[in-house]
Amino acid sequence: MKKTSTRLADGRELLYYDLRDDTVRDAVDQRPPGRTVTTSELRRDVLLGDSVAIASHRQGRVYHPPAAECPLCPSRDGRPTEIPDSSYDVVVFENRFPSLAGETGRCEVVCFTSDHEASFADLTEEQAGLVLEAWTDRTAELSRLPEVRQVFCFENRGAEIGVTLGHPHGQIYGYPFVTPRTALMLRSLAAHREAGGGENLFDAVLERELADERVVLESDNWVAFVPYAAHWPYEVHLYPRRRVPDLLALDEAARAEFPAVYLDLLRRFDRLFDGPDGGGRGSGEGGKDAGGAPPTPYIAAWHQAPFGPLTEFDGVNREDFALHLELFTIRRTSGKLKFLAGSESGMNVFINDVRPETAAQRLREVASS
């Protein structure tokens, strides 16, 4: 992997990640110099104890542009975009419309490929491995920023999820605090350790899932399963067999095996709803596959341990946390979505319409032959 750092015309950082070590990246952003103006601030909800990012400048972000005006495609034919070069493998740059900025954290965009018509599932294993390297490198770099406490790499796919740009891409957030979801896990870790005589809760969960019927696939270094209390209709958690706190700690064997395992999972998601109202392979122009069916919308989220001491969580250490990826779709059946209605949005109590064991069976059935 070769990494090249440059600056856009408005001063934002951009990094190329290339498969070839001899790749030269010297293209210059041809857009007029300027300055990105953000209004991000954090406000704390004293009743719930969490923080809300107020980012009113995001109202002006690009919204579903035609393919010819995609800002994530390479710059070509005199049409400058966010990426100055005429092609790329993987690119990461500071978000023009960040939810978090300055003292409130950092937001970056990750473009997985220059091919506008592709999706992550269309990547080769070599390309997917390069994305993993980019996620790992950015985790390392963002963790060194004084304003960043936790690094979150994720992908939203599909207009149903709220994606405003159809080009295959994800994001990386650097939060200045431990997120509420992670804080809940850390408190559960501490409580289980105290009640179970020192046993690690993540280890216990993985051991239980390996012995049950919800395993979707296994490899030498990874295990994917539908969790016992899945919140979403089709939800898979992907764990390395050896517990590590973050992407930086993955060993070479796990890194080498990850692309094939992850691409397999994504392709299974794209086969879940095959049929007249179901999903198809790849996103394609306008969010449609070649046959006109919408692709399976999903969120893929890496859970990593926060950086720094965790003294507020009863002495839990970073090494107690287990890196894992959560992959889920809001589609519950062909042509129907799972909406977060009164119970979920009002009380944060999820109601799942699909039995987890049934979801796991379906995900095993759609494995490639």
For the question of residue 169 being annotated catalytic, the response is: yes
How crowded is residue 68: how many other Cβ atoms within 10 Å of its Cβ? Answer: 8
Q: Is 73 annotated as a binding residue?
A: yes
| Residues 75 and 216 placed together within one structural domain of the fold | no
The number of folded domains in the chain is 2
What pLDDT is attached to residue 170?
A: 98
Last residue of a domain, one of 133, 148, 175: 175
Name beta bridge partners: 52: 43
| Residues 136 and 197 placed together within one structural domain of the fold | no
Domain that holds residue 83: 2-175
Q: Is 111 annotated as a binding residue?
A: no
| Residues 35 and 167 placed together within one structural domain of the fold | yes
Q: Is 70 annotated as a binding residue?
A: yes
Last residue of a domain, one of 175, 195, 213: 175
| Residues 304 and 360 placed together within one structural domain of the fold | yes
| Residues 7 and 108 placed together within one structural domain of the fold | yes
Q: Digits of tens for pLDDT over the chain (369 positions)?
A: 999 999 999 999 999 999 999 999 999 999 999 887 888 999 999 999 999 999 999 998 898 999 999 999 999 988 999 999 999 999 999 999 999 999 999 999 999 999 999 999 999 999 999 999 999 999 999 999 999 999 999 999 999 999 999 999 999 999 999 999 999 999 999 999 999 888 999 999 999 999 999 999 999 999 999 999 999 999 999 999 999 999 999 999 999 999 999 999 999 999 999 854 444 444 333 344 444 457 999 999 999 999 999 999 988 999 999 999 999 999 999 999 999 999 999 999 999 999 999 999 999 999 985
| Residues 232 and 309 placed together within one structural domain of the fold | yes
Residue with tokens 């599909």: 158
What pLDDT is attached to residue 212?
A: 96
Last residue of a domain, one of 122, 153, 175: 175
Which residue, 105, 76, 101, is CA-closest to 88? 76
| Residues 152 and 209 placed together within one structural domain of the fold | no
Q: Is 167 annotated as a binding residue?
A: yes
Taking each helix axis from N to C terminus, what angle separates 180-195 and 201-210, rounded to the nearest 10 degrees? 90
Half-sphere exposure of 12 (CA within 13 A, CB side): 25
What pLDDT is attached to residue 34?
A: 81
| Residues 152 and 228 placed together within one structural domain of the fold | no
| Residues 249 and 350 placed together within one structural domain of the fold | yes
Would the pTM of this model clear 0.75, i.e. be above it?
A: yes
| Residues 216 and 298 placed together within one structural domain of the fold | yes
| Residues 164 and 192 placed together within one structural domain of the fold | no
Please tell me which residue in 64, 169, 231, 237 is annotated as part of the active site: 169
| Residues 99 and 145 placed together within one structural domain of the fold | yes
Taking each helix axis from N to C terminus, what angle separates 252-271 and 125-143, rounded to the nearest 10 degrees? 120
CATH number at residue 168: 3.30.428.10
